[in-house]
A and B are shown apart, each in its own frame.
Chain A
Amino acid sequence: MRMMLPTGSKMAAAFLAASLALAEPPRFSRDILPILSNHCLPCHGPDAAHRKGGLRLDTAEGARAGGKSGRPAVVPRDPDRSALIQRISTQDADDLMPPPSAHKPLDATQRRLLVDWVRDGAPWGRHWAYEPVVRPAPPRGAAAVRNPIDAFVHDRLARENMTPSKEAERATLLRRVTLDLTGIPPSPDVVAAFVADAAPDAYERAVDRLLASPRHGERMSWEWLEAARYADSNGYQGDGERTAWPWRDWVVAAFNQNLPFDQFTLWQLAGDLLPSPSRDQRLATAFVRHHPINGEGGRIAEENRIDYLFDQVETLGTAWLGQTFNCTRCHDHKFDPVTQSDYFRLLALFNRTAVDGGGGNPQTPPVLEVIDEPRQRALDAAAGTLRAAVAAVVAAESSLFPRPEGAPLDGSPAFKDLPKEVAEALKVEPARRTAAHAGKIHAHFEKIAPAYAATLPPFQAAYDRQRSLQQSIPRVMVMEDVPSPRDTFILARGLYNKPGIKTGPGLPSGISPTPEVPASNRLDLARWLLRPDHPLTARVIANRQWQLFLGTGLVKTSEDLGLQGERPSHPELLDWLAAELVGSGWDIKALQRLIVTSATYRQSSQATPEAFRADPENRLLGRGPRRRMPSWMLRDVALSASGLLVEQVGGPPVKPYQPEGVWEEATFGGKRYQRDSGASLYRRSLYVFWRRIVGPTLFFDVASRQVCTVRTPRTNTPLQALLLLNDASFVEAARVLASSLCTASPDPAARIDQLYLRVLSRRPSPEEARILRDAASRHASTFASHPAAADKVLKAGDTPAPSNVPPHELAAWTLVASTVLNLDEALSTE
C-alpha cells in the first residue's frame, strides 16, 4: 500500500466523518444526526415519557416548533434566532446544553457543524439505515477491477490518495480463503496444485470447490450458533442438558445446501406456521427457543416467561434488524424510532405458545422428536422384536390358561388359585405390563411352568430396549402457537408484575416499510423482514458477511445499525451488496463468492509499519485482511494439520479433553465432566458440548451463549498463550504431527519443510529452517539425557506413539511442531 499523506495519524483521523465533513457543507444524516443522537436525543428524542422541556429534536417539526419556552429550536438559515444554537454556545452554565451534568459536552467542531447546518437551511432527513436500499451504480474509472466491490473500494482509496495493494502470494491467498470458507487449512498437495495451476480461473475454481465442501457449512454455522445463543444446556441452576443439536445439524445442512437466506429466515422464525410444515421447517424454529431457562427453586414462573419473551424479541432485533431493542423494554427508545409499544407488539407475536415459564425442563414443550434414519431403523427393529416377544408370551399363556376363543385370561379355570398379585399382573395385557408385573409373574411360574417363564425375560429385554430407545430420541424445543393466545400488556419499566395497557401483535411502525396489513403472527413478521424494500435486513446480513471475510463490518458496530451505531465506511458498497443479496434471491454463497473473488479480498496483507499505523483496522481496505483466527478454528487447524481431525458431520455433542474439575467446581460436584475417547476427541470444535453455565475452557474470545451475539472481539491475554501451549488437544496434535513428520523422513530439513507446508502452506526460509533444525537437535539432546521426560511427552493424549522413532527424538520434534503451531503466522490468516 502506498501512502501519500505525510503522517499516519493524520490519515487515520481523516477517516473520521467529522473531520472529513469540514471540507464540504454538513450532511444531515452523516454529520448532524449523530451529534443530535448522542448529545440531544437522550432527553429530546422519541421517548415521550422522559422528554425534557417538551422539546423533541428527532423530527424536523419538533425542532422547528421548539419546546415549552415557545421559541423555535431551529430557524432555518438563521442561527442567531435558533434557540438550539444559542443554548449550545452560551457561557452561562445554567443555560448550557447539553447540561454539564450529562457529561456529554459538544466540542468546537460539533458546534460549528450545527451552526453551518442551520445556516444552510437545516435540511432534515432520516437516519441512513432506515432509508430504502437503492442499488448504487459502481463508480466508474477505477482500474484493475475484478468485480464492482473493487470499484467502490478503489474510489474511496483514490479520494484518500491511496492505492490498493498487489494481490497476495498464491499460497497465502489459498490458505486465507480456505480457512475463511471452511475453517480447515489446505493440504500441501492442494496448495501445490493451485500454485501450479496457471489457468486464469484457477482461483475461482478453488473458491467453488471450497463453497461446495461439507466443511463450508460447518464453518459458517459457528457465528449463527452465537447469534442463536445456542447451548447444550439450560443455563442457571440445575443447568439441565438439552437435546437441541438436531437444530445445529440443520443449520450446517442449510449452509451446505445454500438454503436461500429468505427461507433460512422464514423457517427459523415461523417454519411451524408455513402450510403443512415439513419436519425441518418445524425444527428450524428451535432458533427462537435457544434462550436460557431458569429452573432456580422459588423462581416466579411468570417472571421467567417474560424474560424468555424479552430474549426472543431482543434476539430478533440484533440478529436480523441490527437494532437494540432492550432499551425499549422499559421506555421508548432514546435514539431509534422504536417505541415501548412497538416492543410489546413484537413481543405479542412470540407470546402465543404454551410455555408458562415454570420449571427447568430442558425439553419444555412444545418439542419436536427428531428421529433420523438409523434411529428409525433401530426403533423399527425393536418394535419387531417386541411384537415377536409378546406373541411368544401370548402363545405360552394360551396353552397355560386354556379358555374359549376371545375369552379373557381370568376366564380360564387354570387362573383360579393364583396368588392375588400374580393374577392382577396377568390381567394386564402383555404389551402393557411393567417390569414389576413381569417380575411377579416370572417368580411365580419359574419353577412350575418353566417353558412359559422362559418367554418372559426376552419380552422384558425387548420392552426395556424399546423404552430406552424412545427415551433417547432427541426432543428439540420448537415453536408452536396455541389457538387462543394470551393477552399481552405493556409492562411498566419492563416488570412482569406491572402490566399496563393491553396491546396486540404488530410490527415496529418507525422502521419502514410499514405493512399494509396488520401482522398477526410470526410468519407475518418474517415476511416483513424479507420484503425487498425492507431497509435493514439485507444491510444487516450483507454487513455481517463482510465482517466474516474482511474482519470488520462496513458498519463496524454490526450489532447496531441504529443512530448510535457507527456509520458505514463505504455506504454505497454496503447498499450495493445488500441489493445484490436481495436481487440474487438471498443467495448467501453467491454473496460470499462475490466477496472472496474481489480484488479487495485478494490483496496482500503485507504492509509497512507506517501503513499499519495509519489505518490499523484497515477500514479503508488498502490491504488484505490479516487476522488471528477465532480460537475454535485454531483447534480445528491443529487437529487438521496433525491428521487427527475426524470429518464427521453432525450428531450429539462431544466432550474433548478438558482440565479436571472445571464442571465439578462450578456446580459443587453436581455435574461431572466425563471426557470422550476415540473419534469424539477429534471432531470439529462446532460439535463440542456447550454447558451454558461453564462453557468449554478451550475457547476464548467467543460469545458466552447467554444472549444473541453477532460480534466478538479478538483480544490478547497470556491465558490464551498458556492454553495454546499446554492444552491437551494442542499438545497431542503437536505430538501426532511430529510422529507423522518423523515417520515420513529421517531428514530434519524434509521434516521442517513438511511441517511448514502443513501448518503454514509454505516452505520455510533458510533462516527459519536453521532455527528449527537447531531447536530440534538441542531439544533432542535434552530429552536424550532425560529419557523419563521424553516418555512423559509421548504420553500426551490418547493416540499411541509410533515405536519406530526414538522417544527423545519424537519428544524433541513434538516441541518443534508446537513451536510452529504457536507462530503468529500459524494463528493467523494473512
Chain B
Amino acid sequence: MNPFDSLSRRTFLGRGATGLGWAALAHLLSRDARAAAPGIPGGSFHHKPKAKRIVYLFQNGAPTHVDLFDYKPRLVREHGKPLPDSYVAGKRFSTMTGKADGKLLLAPVEPFRQHGQSGAWVSALLPHIASISDRLCFLKGMHTDAVNHAPAISLMLSGSQLPGRPTLGAWLGYGLGSESDNLPAFVVMTSVTRNTTCGQIFYDFYWGSGFLPSRHQGVKFRGSAEPVLYLGNPDGIERDTRRAMLDDLAALNRRHHEEWGDPEISTRIAQYEMAFQMQASVPELSDISREPESVLREYGPDVRTPGTFAYNCLMARRLLERGVRCVQLMHAGWDQHNSLTTELYHQCRDTDQPSAALVLDLERRGLLDDTVVVWGGEFGRTPFIQGSLDDRARWGRDHHPYAYTTWLAGGGVRPGMSHGETDDLGMNVVGDGVHVHDLQATLLHLLGLDHERLTYRFQGRDFRLTDVHGTLVKPILS
C-alpha cells in the first residue's frame, strides 16, 4: 500500500486549527506513511543518527578536480605532452572530445599548496576553503556513470540518470519528516556566477519527489522578490484582513466538517492555517538586518544580494537553524570547456569564501556537529586540454566521469582527512573509489537511515535512493 494514498484522509479531529504547525502535520502524516511503508520501521531511525540535517552545496557544471583539489605534479612536469594511451583504454567521453588518446596534458592553472595540520593540497584559487581544510574530508576517488550534465546531476541527486526519481532531500523528508513548524523540510536555492557563458539549467527534477508524495518535493526559495511563489497576499490585502478571511473560512469549513464527516476537511483547515504561518515565517527568514556585521563580512561582499551564492549560503544557515532538514544550494557555471583561465576564477571567487564561511558559521553556532555539509559537482574534468595549447585564453577541460573530488564536513564525518586516490594524472581512481551511490548510502547513514531499508513501493518495486547499489564508506565516519 502506498503511504501517500492515506494522507488525504488524515484527521485532525479534536484539535483546533490554530497553533498546529507544519511539523505537527508532517508528523501526523508521516507516522501513517511509515506505518504503511515497508521500508521504514515504526517511524524512527534505522540507527542512531550522527546528523540531523544536511546542506548540499552543489556545484553545477562539474568543478575541475585537477585544478582545485587533486594535485598532480606530473601534470605540471608533462604539461603539453600527449596523454599515454594506457590511461584511456576504451573510455567514452562527450562528443566534444570523442576519442581521448593523444590529447595533450594540461597543468593546473594555479599552484597548489599544502594547508593545515592535515597537509591537504588545495589550489591557490580557493584560499578560504584551504584555510578550513582541517575541518574537511576530501573524497578524491569519486566517480560516476554519466558523462553529460543533466543525467549526471540527476544521478548524483536521485540515484538515477533519468528524471523522475525522488531526490535525496525528498527521501529524507519521507524518512525523517520535518523538524520545522513553519518551513518545509527540503528547501532549494539556486545561483549562478554573473556573466557566465555556461548554459546549464536548473531542472525542477533536481529537487523532485518522483513517485514519493509531492509534499516531499524540494520547495524552491527564489533569489528574487518573493522567496516562495504566491507567498504574498494580493495587493491591497493586509495581514489582518487575511487573518479575518481565514477565520471565516475555517468557521465555514468546520461547520461543513461536522455535517459531512470527511476528515479531509480538517486537513484543509490545517493546510490554510499553515499557509498563514508561512507568510510570516518566510519573510522573517529572509530578514538579515539583525545579522552581526562580522558574520555578514565573513560571507563576503555579495552576501546582501539575493540570488548570489553568498546570500544563499547565509540563507542556508538560517534555514538549517530553523529546523529545515535538507538545504540544497545549486550554483551553476562550473562548465569550463574553454574558460579555465577566465571564468574559473570568477566561479572560485563567488563560491570559495561563502562556502568556508558557512562551515565556520555553523561551527560557531554549535550546528556543525549535527549538520552534514557536502560540496561538489556531478563529475570532474579531463586532465588533458580541450582547446589549443597556444591559446591560453581559451584553455578548457572536458567532462570527466572517471574521477573527481567532493568534500564533506560536519556531523559524523572525520575531519582533516582525504579518502581515495587517483593515478598520477588524475585520470582514474586507483584506490578507495567512491561511487555516487556509495556517497548517497553514506549520507543517509549519517542521518540515521539504512539505504537498503529506506524503500518505497512503486510500480511493484521497492525503490531506493541507491537503486540496487551503494556501499557505506566507513573509513570517513568519525
Contact = CB atoms under 8 A, between A and B. Distances in A.
Q: Do A and B come from one complex?
A: yes
B459 A559 contact: yes
B236 A790 contact: yes
Contact of A715 (B8, B256, B263, B265): B8
Interface string A804-830: 000000010001001100111101101
Interface string B121-161: 00000000000000000000000000111100000000000
A716 B148 contact: no
B261 interface: yes
Contacts of B460: 324, 335-336, 557, 560, 562-565
B302 interface: no
B244 interface: yes
B261 A606 contact: yes
B22 interface: yes
B150 A665 contact: no
B234 A707 contact: no
Interface of B: 1-2, 4-9, 11, 13, 22, 38, 92, 94-96, 147-150, 162-164, 184, 190, 192, 199-205, 208, 213-215, 219, 222-226, 228-238, 241-242, 244-245, 248-249, 251-253, 255-257, 259-265, 267-269, 271-272, 274-275, 277-279, 332, 398-399, 452-453, 455, 457, 459-461
Nearest to B450: A103
Contacts of A704: 163-164, 204-205, 208
A421 interface: no
Nearest to A664: B224
A49 interface: no
22 contacts: A103-B455, A237-B149, A552-B5, A563-B460, A612-B11, A628-B8, A661-B224, A697-B229, A704-B163, A707-B162, A715-B7, A715-B8, A716-B267, A718-B277, A721-B275, A722-B275, A725-B233, A725-B275, A726-B233, A792-B235, A795-B235, A827-B268
Given A717-B271, A819-B249, A556 B5 contact: yes
Interface string A174-186: 0000000000000
Interface in A578-623: 605-609, 611-613, 616-617
Contacts of A659: 226, 229-230
B335 to A, nearest CB: 9
A380 interface: no
Given A562-B460, A564-B461, A719-B228, A665 B222 contact: yes
A609 B263 contact: yes
B271 A693 contact: no
Contacts of A324: 459-461
B214 A299 contact: no
Contacts of A792: 234-236
B273 to A, nearest CB: 8
A596 B233 CA distance: 40
Interface string A656-672: 00011110011110100
Contacts of A336: 460
Interface in A38-65: none
Interface of A: 103-104, 236-237, 239, 292, 294, 296-301, 307, 318, 324, 326-327, 334-336, 497, 552, 556-557, 559-560, 562-566, 605-609, 611-613, 616-617, 626, 628, 659-662, 665-668, 670, 693-695, 697, 700-701, 704, 706-707, 713-723, 725-728, 731, 765, 767-768, 771-772, 775, 778-779, 782, 786, 788-796, 811, 815, 818-819, 822-825, 827-828, 830
Contacts of A825: 256
A545 B201 CA distance: 37
Contacts of B2: 556-557
Contacts of A795: 235-236
Given A666-B204, A789-B238, A824-B253, A775 B248 contact: yes
Given A605-B262, A662-B229, A723-B229, A822 B222 contact: no
B251 A771 contact: yes
Contacts of B1: 556, 566
Contacts of B94: 298-300
A497 B96 CA distance: 17
Nearest to A303: B148
Given A719-B228, A771-B251, 6 more contacts: A298-B399, A605-B262, A715-B8, A723-B229, A725-B233, A822-B272
Given A564-B461, A782-B241, A824-B268, A713 B92 contact: no
B164 A719 contact: no
A719 B219 contact: yes
B253 A793 contact: no
Contacts of B253: 823-824
A162 to B, nearest CB: 16
A747 to B, nearest CB: 20
Contacts of A694: 203-204
A713 B241 contact: no
A607 B150 CA distance: 49
B255 to A, nearest CB: 7
Given A560-B460, A717-B271, A700 B214 contact: yes
A560 B228 CA distance: 36
Given A298-B95, A298-B399, A719 B230 contact: yes
A606 B260 contact: yes
A630 to B, nearest CB: 13
A796 B234 contact: yes
A616 B219 CA distance: 29
Contacts of B163: 292, 704, 706-707
A435 to B, nearest CB: 31
Nearest to A727: B230
A557 B458 CA distance: 8
A713 B237 contact: no
A508 to B, nearest CB: 16
Given A668-B199, A795-B235, A715 B214 contact: yes
Nearest to B223: A665
A618 to B, nearest CB: 9
Contacts of A707: 162-164
B261 A693 contact: no
Contacts of B452: 103
A823 B262 CA distance: 14
B249 A779 contact: no
A819 B225 CA distance: 26
A512 to B, nearest CB: 19
Contacts of B13: 609
Contacts of A726: 230-234
Nearest to A497: B92
B218 to A, nearest CB: 11
A185 B236 CA distance: 29
B241 A815 contact: yes
A336 to B, nearest CB: 8
A307 B224 contact: no
A772 B22 CA distance: 28
A781 to B, nearest CB: 11
B244 A716 contact: no
Contact of A239 (B92, B201, B219, B234): B201
Contacts of A815: 237, 241, 245
A237 B199 contact: yes
Contact of A775 (B229, B244, B275): B244
A83 to B, nearest CB: 26
Contact of B95 (A300, A609, A668, A716): A300
A823 B249 contact: yes
A299 B241 CA distance: 54
Given A237-B199, A726-B233, A823-B249, A715 B459 contact: no
Contact of B235 (A560, A564, A721, A796): A796
A334 B468 CA distance: 13
A613 B234 contact: no
Contacts of B230: 659, 697, 719, 722-723, 725-727
Closest 3 CB pairs of A and B: A564-B460, A792-B236, A298-B94
A765 B260 CA distance: 14
A321 to B, nearest CB: 12
A307 B204 contact: no
